[in-house]
Amino acid sequence: MDSVELHRVEERMHHRGPDDFRYVQDSDIDFYFSRLSIQDLSNAHQPMQSLSKQYLIVFNGEIYNYVELRQSLIEEGYYFQTEGDTEVLLALYEVYGKQMIYQLRGMFAFAIWDRAEREMFAARDPFGIKPFYYVENEDGFFFSSERKCLPLLGAEHKAVDKEALHHYLTFQYIPSTDGYTDVAFQQLKPGHCLTYSFDLEEAHVERYFQAQFCSSLEGTKNVAKTLQQALQSSVSVHMRSDVSVGAFLSGGIDSSTIVALAKEHHPSLQTFTVGFEREGYSEIELAKETANHLGDNHAYIITAEEVMNEMENIVYHLDEPIADPAAIPNYFVSRLASQHVKVVLSGEGADELFAGYEIYKEPNALKGFSYLPRRINRWVQWLARQLPEGIKGRNYLIRGTTPLAKRYVGNAKIFNHEEKELLLADAGCIYPYTNVTKPLYDQALQWDESTQMQYIDLHTWLPGDILTVADRMSMAHSIELRVPFLDQQVFEVASMIPQSMKLTGGTTKFVLREAAKDILPEAVFNRKKLGFPVPIRHWLQNEMYEWVQSIVQQSHTDKIINKPYVLSLLDEHAKGMADHSRKLWAVVTFMIWHRVFEEERTSREALVSRPVHAVL
């Protein structure tokens, strides 16, 4: 790789690590690393070599129990040259080999090259907090933290994969699956590790973490206390840093709990909140109320005009089409935080671990249908489908007579198959969403339906949408986002909590509220969940109408998208005939992504290709 190409790689990854860029080129492998310095700022440079010089590592993330692991290795006679967690990973691998993965508590994506065995070992954390994209082809093995870097490294640039597009239009993101045929890259799945042999020229992927639920804990007070202790431990280790740490604060129980626990370690903790001008779409006042109890708060109001101006940057940094409007507040709150701190704590994962979504109540609401004979259920569903759209009770009857595996695909279901046939210029083959969800439902049959829904979200919605948005939007502004709820020890407790302690008393996350009762003001732990709500429904009727119309008309996606159908949805939405906001946002996001990454009508440089061995 010459100096010009090396500069392109550095430029493409600069936002993920602006503090340092270094590389090592061996006869068999090239490692490149852009560093965001968090621990041992003046040392701990990467790529890092082991004392024996046999191993070389690139590592993205944090090992929160590195202090304890480091001390244990010192007691065994290991000598360290640095104070950070990267060298601890190298030492663990040198002592324990691949089994070291079971000792790690943290968020991570790393690769270790063994010069003697000509073998690379890579792993991704259990929940998929940190990304790992890779390509394996006849030229070698290539990997990166972001897919946009892979074409610079030798990955073939292919057209839009039809199955991936179908799933995107269902889920609002592209779920990780092995079935895509026209995608040049793959993702290492959460909780998986990979071994690549350069002599055999093949990669072997295996799972090292499997989420399980056992409902073995008893007594609400006892469970709440156990959970509180686990959260206190998690937040404590998540505060380890040689740079300033802050926190996102939306005003709800998840972020407020994290902030309250973090304040025990850092009384002057700074918090960050964003909201919107429209009434009902801002938690700034709630966050300020919480901050009055918990400390300093910085707030920012987002306008529709700003979103339109920044949308191409947002999509560029998302790296792949993700139509979650939550990317907007995440982008702006990360920008706000980056002016004050280098690390932020955030509340992602609580809903998936403690049943925080209202939809998780649905199985109990529909329980009566399970007592009806199948023949009666089929007849009720047929009858319900004859009713006009919008008739009260129609959807309730349809959902009640539809098995869970066929009605629940996760927190977002944007277009159904019939709508895709209208939307896509060439709908082609049918790619049912069950290609993604059925294997997961098959693994979860032993649990109640609400737990099955959690399991689906843990393996699809959480890594594919929530954590991808969190990572990309924070990294867009060169800050590290940490998620204390998604801690291995916290999950161990959460997995043993009976569903009756999560969904009870007409509320969600009941046991989490009980655990937080002693540390939060009463007004906070009883507060209804809002998160960072985004007023796209209103924007698309008003400020963004012409903007969206222009994007659709100018997009070079005529062979993919039926534009007249999209424009008809926009007009119906603007006239208040129907709420098509999520559908429109999915299409617009895809069209912007297509412009940025597929068309050459953007200010960014065109993607280029040249094979190298491997890169991060």
On the question of pLDDT at 175 being above 50, the answer is yes
Which residues have CB under 8 Å from 474's CB, separation 6+? Answer: 330, 334, 344, 480, 481
pLDDT category at 33 given cuts 50, 70, 90 is confident
On the question of pLDDT at 527 being above 80, the answer is no
Sign of CA dihedral 407, 471, 335, 231: positive
d(CA 241, CA 606): 37
Helix (H) or strand (E) holding 72: helix 66-75
SS3 9: helix
Q: How far is CA 171 from CA 413, 470, 474, in A?
A: 5, 17, 22
d(CA 126, CA 107): 8
In this prediction, what percent of the chain has a pLDDT beyond 70? 90
> For residue range 199-229, what is the model confidence (pLDDT) as tens digits?
888 899 999 999 999 988 888 899 999 999 9
d(CA 42, CA 133): 29
Answer yes or no: do 515 and 404 share one domain.
no
Burial (Cβ within 10 Å: 0-12, 13-18, ≥19) of residue 470 = buried
Structural domain includes residue 147: yes
Structural domain includes residue 384: yes
Mean pLDDT, rounded, for 429-440? 89
Total domains present in the chain: 4
Note the pLDDT of residue 530: 58
CA atoms within 13 A on the CB side of 535: 21
- Tokens standing for 577? 């005939």
pTM of the model: 0.93
Note the pLDDT of residue 574: 96
| Nearest CA among 155, 238, 243, 142 for reference residue 194 | 142
Which residues have CB under 8 Å from 220's CB, separation 6+? Answer: 501, 511, 514
Answer yes or no: do 202 and 306 share one domain.
no
Choose one of 479, 505, 525: the last residue of a domain.
525
Answer yes or no: do 255 and 195 share one domain.
no
Buried b or exposed e, range 229-251, using 16+ CB within 10 angstroms = ebbebbbebbbbbeeebbbbbbb
Strands 133-137 and 192-197, sheet pairing: unpaired
On the question of pLDDT at 310 being above 70, the answer is yes
Structural domain includes residue 68: yes
Choose one of 473, 501, 525: the last residue of a domain.
525
Mean pLDDT, rounded, for 261-277? 91
- Tokens standing for 149? 């870097």
Of 2-6, 29-33, 120-124, the least confident: 2-6
- Tokens standing for 42? 């003046």
| Nearest CA among 74, 73, 70 for reference residue 40 | 70
Mean pLDDT, rounded, for 14-29? 85
Q: Is the peptide bond before 47 cis (omega within 30 degrees of 0)?
A: yes
Answer yes or no: do 501 and 367 share one domain.
no
**At 144, which CATH number?**
3.60.20.10
Structural domain includes residue 378: yes
Answer yes or no: do 312 and 338 share one domain.
yes
Of 4-13, 190-199, 230-239, the least confident: 4-13
- Tokens standing for 456? 């689906």
Sign of CA dihedral 38, 189, 132, 345: negative
In the sheet that holds 245-248, the strands lie side by side as 297-302, 270-276, 245-248, 343-345, 480-482
Helix (H) or strand (E) holding 493: helix 488-494
> For residue range 487-519, what is the model confidence (pLDDT) as tens digits?
999 999 999 999 999 998 788 999 999 999 888
Mean pLDDT, rounded, for 381-386? 92
Answer yes or no: do 346 and 366 share one domain.
no
Of 20-24, 171-175, 423-427, 530-534, the least confident: 530-534
Mean pLDDT, rounded, for 16-28? 84
pLDDT category at 305 given cuts 50, 70, 90 is very high
Structural domain includes residue 440: no
Answer yes or no: do 329 and 462 share one domain.
yes
d(CA 42, CA 83): 10
> For residue range 566-594, what is the model confidence (pLDDT) as tens digits?
999 999 999 999 999 999 999 999 999 99
On the question of pLDDT at 605 being above 50, the answer is no
* 48-52, 336-340, 392-396: which is most confident: 336-340
Structural domain includes residue 319: yes
The residue type at 370: S
Choose one of 503, 525, 547: the last residue of a domain.
525
On the question of pLDDT at 604 being above 50, the answer is no
Mean pLDDT, rounded, for 9-31? 85
Answer yes or no: do 55 and 15 share one domain.
yes
CA atoms within 13 A on the CB side of 403: 7
- Tokens standing for 591? 């069209």
| Nearest CA among 270, 265, 273 for reference residue 231 | 265
pLDDT category at 607 given cuts 50, 70, 90 is very low
Structural domain includes residue 212: no
**At 490, which CATH number?**
3.40.50.620
Mean pLDDT, rounded, for 250-259? 89
Answer yes or no: do 12 and 142 share one domain.
yes
pLDDT category at 613 given cuts 50, 70, 90 is very low
d(CA 533, CA 529): 10
Note the pLDDT of residue 28: 82
Answer yes or no: do 364 and 286 share one domain.
no
Average pLDDT over the chain reads 89
Angle, alpha carbons 342-175-478 (nearest 5°):
15
Note the pLDDT of residue 383: 93
In this prediction, what percent of the chain has a pLDDT beyond 90? 68
SS3 145: coil
Note the pLDDT of residue 32: 87
Note the pLDDT of residue 615: 47
Note the pLDDT of residue 528: 64
pLDDT category at 606 given cuts 50, 70, 90 is very low
In this structure, the chain runs to a length of 616
Segments forming the whole domain that contains residue 387: 358-410
Q: How far is CA 567 from CA 226, 327, 497, 562, in A?
A: 53, 24, 48, 9
Answer yes or no: do 136 and 20 share one domain.
yes
Note the pLDDT of residue 40: 78
pLDDT category at 608 given cuts 50, 70, 90 is very low
Structural domain includes residue 388: yes
Answer yes or no: do 50 and 193 share one domain.
yes
Of 417-421, 453-457, 520-524, the least confident: 520-524
pLDDT category at 61 given cuts 50, 70, 90 is very high
